[in-house]
Each structure stands twice: as C-alpha cells, then as structure tokens.
Structure 1
C-alpha cells in the first residue's frame, strides 16, 4: 500500500482512501481515478482529504489504489487548484501592454509634447482602450459625477499634458485596488461553496426489501430512504429512521462537536458521518436543500447595500464636483497644470467605497465560516448599533422541550412508584407534558405499571385516566382531579397531578428548560451595549414569570399573539430604539420582519422564519448570536478606521499638490497606495479573529 494513502473504510463496491498529500484539485484527481481499471466513479472530499471510490468488484485491489496514488504524485503540477491568477486578469494584461507601448514609444518617438496629438500616440491609445470601462462610466455620469468621472478626467488631463506615465500610474493602482476587492469577494464565495459542497454523485438507496442499492444521486426523490456510511457526507435533508451515528454538522450549524443522531433526529445535507451509519427518509433534494438555500442567501447578501455603502455614494456625489471646482479654481489662480492634476488624481471616493464593500463582503464570509448567515451590509450596520433585544420564549430562550424538574409524593408513596403509575397512564398520550414524564421515567429506568388498554380514556384539555391493578388512575390538571372526587387541600405546587383511587399520590413540576448558553448570551449582550432584554411569549403569565426568574431578562409580556409582538417592536422603534428580534417559529415571522435586525436561531426554526430574518443561525448555540454582533462591530470599526485613514492621507496629498510640493504622479501614487491599504485593511476581516 502506498505511503501516501490508506484504506479507512470499505464495503462491497465502495472504498474510502485517506490521502496524506493535500488534495488541491478535486476534479482532476477524480478524473485520474475514474480512468483506472474496475473503477466506476470517485468522489474527492477536500474537507477530510480523502477519496471515495465506487468499483465493479466487491473489493478494490490494493494495486489499483497504488496505481492511482502514484499517478497522482507523478503529476503534482496538475493537482494544483486552478485559481484565477492576478497576472491573467484582463486589466493586468492591458497594463503590461501599455507599459510596453510606453517603452517602445519613448525609444522610437521620444517624449510626448502634449496637446491633442498626444492622444494619438501608441501609449495613449493603449491606455484609453485599457481604461474603456472607467471612461465609459465616467462620461455617462458626467452630470452626476462619480469616482470614475474623476479618474477619467485625471487620465485625460495627464495624456493631454504629455505625461502618460502619470495616467498609467492612476489606472494601474486603481486596477490593483479593484483586484484586491474582487479577490476578497471571490475568496468569500469560493470558501462558502467549497465548505458547503455536497459532491455526492451516488447514494445508497434502501429498497422495499431492506437491501441497499447504489444509484445516482439525482434519481433520489423525497420519500426515498437512503443509508449514509461512516466518512460520507449526508447528501439530502431528511429524518433519521434507523441506526445511530456521530455526525459533524459544523458546516451547517457551526457546532464544533459531533452530534449523536438516532431515530427521529433531523439531518442536513452537507453534514459528515464521523462514526457509525444512519438511514434517513429524504425530505429535500437539490435546490430545496437547506445548504443550497444558505449558499443562495449568502451570495445574494453580498449584493445588498448597507446604509454605510449608500452614504459613501452620497459622499461621492458631494466630493467629486468639489474636486472639479477646486481644480478649476486652482487653474484660474495659478495657471499651473500640475496643481490642477493633483486635484483630479487625489480623491476620497475610491478608498471609502472599495474598502467598505470589501469589509461587508469579508464579514459575511467570516460569519459563514462559523455557521452564521448575514443578509447584507445593512444587517451588519444595524446589528452593530442595536441597543434593545426582544426574544421569543419557547424554542428560543427555552429549548421548547418540557422536562420534569421535581416530583412531590404523598400518602407514603416513593418517587419510583409515582413515576411508574404516571408513566402507565401517560404511555399513549401525545401531549408534550406526557412526553416529559415518559422521558423522566426512561432516564431513571423506571418501568410503567401494566394497565388495561380498554379502560384508557383521554379527557380533552383536562387529563387522562386508566385502570391499573383494578384501581382508577388519573393524571392531569387540578380541576380534573377534583372532578374525580380527589380532595386537594392546602398549599400544593403547580404541575401535573396524579391520583390513584380517591387519593392524591404525586405532583410533577414541569418546566421548559432554559437553553444552555442563553444566560451567557444575555449577560454578554448587556456588557456589549444592549440596554434592554425583553421576552415576548404567547404562553401564560405563570410560565413567562417562571422563565424570567431563571434568566437574565429585564422585562416580559405574556399572552402575546404574533401581531402583538410586531406591534411591541414597532413601539420600541418609534421610541428611538434599534431593535434586534430573536425567534424561531411561524409566530415570530412578523416580529422578525418588523425588527431592525431579525435573527432566526436553532435547528427547529421554520422556513418562514429563515426567509424573514436578516441573520440565520442553524445552530442551537446562542453564543453565536453574540459572535455575529462582535463581527458586525469589528466591521464597523474597520470601516470608520478606513474613512479616517483616507481623509488624513488624501487631505495631506491634496495640500502638498496644491502648493506644488509634489508632482501629479506622486499624488496619484499616494492616493492609490492609500486606497490599496484600506482595502487590504478590510480584507483581513475574512480571517477569524481579524479586527
């Protein structure tokens, strides 16, 4: 066996090989493997640096593996990912041609003398062609000038003056700034697609007789059952129907620890089975997959403008005309063309706009790496400024899964006896509170008492009764037990009451458990400038008060309908609050849409909550909400920092140019160097920890 790969998992017709060399070009490596004898197909996993090979024979001979691994090593240059090289970018090529034209022109024709004739020289024609997009946009916008209008004027003035090198510097450094911005956006989108790529060509379909058959993934439809083995990516969204497995869901939820999946759990496509195997009933495929919607939302988010970006456009509308007016005034006073050029080649617009767009894109990309989807720059800006948070209770502050927190016993009964009888009477109930009692019985390994199924009766809205050991057993509300003639006197706790015969024997206190990490989030929010933490819930006053007493909530309102929640948020906004709403369900959709920033959180969130929210977090970990806020605050700090840098450097260059202390080519270099610097400053937000 080759030292650069080892078989880590094999079943008839399928083998997984772990590579010890870095896989840089999955498509090429797959093509090499597919050309091997007995190989039907292959899928390369960049995340696990492994290859899954589907083959005709039950077992793939080691010689075949040896062959393809050696061939892969023999062509290392071909295995490198084909990235878009800066040297292959059209603008860079055209810049190179223009510089060559300048050298040849100087050798054959000598320096330019200026005037209209200089526009017909080879260097000028080459530069005009290279700058055609800038010039076209600049001329179209002459009545409402933008940064391209200013750049067009500066290039034209330099060529007319007979200083083509100044024009080349202006164009060249502008191109470098745009390349850096494009690179950041490209890296963000490329990372997201690589991270979330499913890449499963085949699936193991479970037939009606229980056998597993390998079929093309595109033939799988909702309702089919498929098996996912250790090391495989989950190819579809669906519910687990058999077996158990450890699953890495970090690409979807941001959770760094594998999750134990068993029957009844929901799996997202793009997760990876790290141990065991799991069978799922497919619910969504193709473009309907959660991961596909995530990719679309991220890419659409990068095209949305924030008010910061719109402000930079307004800034452009004000500054560019001012630059033209100052240039005209300077020419009128000094008649010095160099000073006029300095006013045209130095501006504040490029640095502000390019660095802002880069910061927004990089922040969206960074958040996506952590399982946080931000829908555009406006979301980032408002999230950084939020001072009030409104939270739904069930499924957001709490887990939405009631649990037994205490068992009170009477008449000399033990907790085990009470739980055994309660489990018996609740055994066939689908009520969430019944599930809490059955879960507690299972946790303590308490068996339910045998009962007569024919005597089981559901009293809608009140409770359940059944005969156990020839005695009637009742479980339900206080009123229900009183109806059965059971005396309930004195100060007793609230909960689910258990009566046997005519005696009260037990009370179960049941609460909706506070979500782990929620109190940490609420405390962090307070430390980070959130002044009010408000809970809105459709539950009753008692349930709401109970949750408030166990969490860091400042205020709450109970018995709230969906429209009530939205109205409350509207009132907060009218009072000048910047409101963040966190929810997960259909009843939260209106509030999420009304808030300045809506956040849909948790694995149980609904599709409508995802669509109406500005931030989508697929994890049940509340701390990711604070991480989203911190990323937004970092982005805004960088944007403000870039504006200050641009103002200081360009103002200094303008003053030096106005007094004739630097030539236009130096002014252009200073201006474009500052632009490159602030764009690079924004690009670091793509990295985890970038600030």
Structure 2
C-alpha cells in the first residue's frame, strides 16, 4: 500500500492512503493486524479518506510500522468483527453523514428547485405523516402523530407549503436523533459484555499454538490458563480450574470445573489450566445470546425521556382544543395555524434526547462510558460510589523494577526464562515480565516442556 505521512509525533502516527483505498470492513482488518504487534496501543481507521491513525509505545519503532503498512496487500487483510470503539465510531460517522446530507439537500432544494417542483415534493413527503395521523385517529389514539398530521395538513390547506416542509424537516431530524441514541446505547452495552480477546492457544499434537480467535471452529481444543477470559462455549477435556461465572450467574465465588464440565464465553479462569473442546463460538455463544436479548428488550432511555414522551402525547388534545378555540373566537386561519405549528410536544420530544446525548458525550470525553440515559439518571441520584480497583483506579500495568539472580544464574538468563514461562499467562505481572524482556531484546524460543498449573498451588 502507498501512503503519505500526515502527522508524525511522539507515540502518534497518521497515514493517508487516499480516498476509498480500503473499505470500512478492510479498515477493521488493518486495525486488527496492527494491534497484534507488540507496542501498538491503539489504531483507528477511516475508510472515507483512507487514513490510519496509530498510537504506539517505545516497544516498537516507527520504521517497523511504516514497513508493515507498506508491505500490506489487500489479500493479507483478515475479515474481523469491529471492536466496540469501531462500532461507535461508525455510528457517529453515519449520524454526521445523515445530518449533513439532510441540511445540504434542503438548502439545495430551496435554491435550485423550481417552486412547482418544491410543492409536488412537499405533497409527496406529507403522505406518510398524514397517513400515520389518520391511522392513530382510527385506532382511537390522540398522540403526537395526530398533531403532526394536523399541522402539516393545515399548512397545506392554507397553501403554506414552505411551513409544511419545515415541519417535516424538523420531524425527520428528530427521528434521526432518536435512532442515533438507540443504536449508540445498544452498542455501548454490547461493548461492555463483548469478548475482548484476539488470540488463543490451540492444542495440537505438536504442542500449544497461538492462533487468532477468528480461526477457531467447533471441535478445536483450546488451552485456557489462569487469568484468561474464556472466549467460547465448550466442554472441559483436560485439567481442572476455578472459573468465575459472575457474568452469567451473578455468583461472585469461583466454581470448580473438571473434565466433562461445561464452561461459557465471558467467564474467567481464576486458577488452574484446562483444555476445552469448542462447542460454540462468536454469535452462537450463550453470552452473545444474552447480549442480543438485552439489546432487543432493554429500554435504556432515561425515565425523564419516557416522561417527556408521555407528556408530549398528553398535551396533544389540549393543543388541538386551543387551536379550535382560537379559530372559533377569531375566525382567523393565520392565528389558528400559528397554534398548530408551534408544536410544543415535538420540542419536548426533541430536546430530551439531545440533552441525554450531550451528557453521554461529555462523560465519554472524561473517559467514562455511560450505557444509557437511565444509568446517567441513577448516577445523578447516587451518594455512594463503589469502584473496581484494577483498571479503574489503577492502570493494571506494573513495571519490573529489578531482577535479582541467585547462585550461578545470570540476570538476563533469569529474565529470559521467566518471560518464556509467563508468556502463557495474561496476568498483569506476567505481562510486565514479558514486556521487560522484549524491551531489553531478550527474545526467546519456547525452551520448556508443557506448562502445568496446579489449582491453588501455582
């Protein structure tokens, strides 16, 4: 791939490959490939302008990253699912595109489209609104759809097609905001439960081999060790372990899993090492089915948002009665139209989700993820907050400060051997030892027999 360097700063590199150099799905694959390299902390891609933004640490040289991108071919890009951050980024981008498209299209129509064609387009756009209002009346419901239809219909009867068009534009804008809010909250929820594992250890006759999770299929055996989240549903075939199933059952105490027991994706091996035969992976896992169920049924709107929508429906009859009273008293259609078009209920429905979105975005800017308006409200009423320490109040990133060798052992040999053993365990202390060896250039081959872990004895 050919690229140009747009920004080159400490720990941050932005490359531009050109518009449409890769698709959105290929961008996810490129990001996944780069994240697998030691030292790459974060990658963001944008298919619209073909840019790749890379955040990296001291463990990898900038030249190595450039060489990797330069040698990348389209056939090398894996097909992967987007991460939670990439999902949110895609939703935000589509929302911005829809809003910009709506505004530009409206301005272009006003400036370029002849008036007769504008009237025809307004009449066609009004049909769905009028139908929804009529259907609500036929079902005995006096809701916002009726008020919308009344305002649009009255504007058109008065031949004020510009007013009717403006009302429909604002209503469409409100629908886009509501859809954006719903998708964003569902994505945040899914990301909080998602399995954030890229690679796993496959059990083979020649020994354990590390492979991408995307390559795992039913019937494979995976080695799951202490501190590792189980990424699949399966049955234990070898070993024993204490597994924390709090994500599935809410039970905080770990359960012993021996040969023949079932284990599920999203649970955590606290102690031990097991070989698990894969029964279900990705969309077929139980945790994924739970996520789908929550996404389909859970209403994450703030209660104030629900109250606003109910209030909007309740004031519709009073709104229509006010308009009728004004007409009876004044016989002035212009004043009556003013009552109908000043749609307070629409403003109530529109303002509330905007406030919730703004608050969630503000929280995200301070590195806090809010899963929905309901939780935002609960946070406002809280007087006590309980934190999970690791990764919340701490970085979960210890550093090796000193290596002490005893007897006839050399310091480098001790660190190399320790890293060789610890590379199989994703505990934060294990990662610190492996990282220190890599920083000092103490690269190692597999120099040991199979690593065995005894529950409660290490």
Give TM-score scaled by structure 1 length.
0.35
Bigger fraction of residues in strand:
1
TM, length-normalised to structure 2: 0.50
> Of the two structures, which has the highest relative contact order with CA contacts closer than 8 Å and spacing of 6 or more?
1
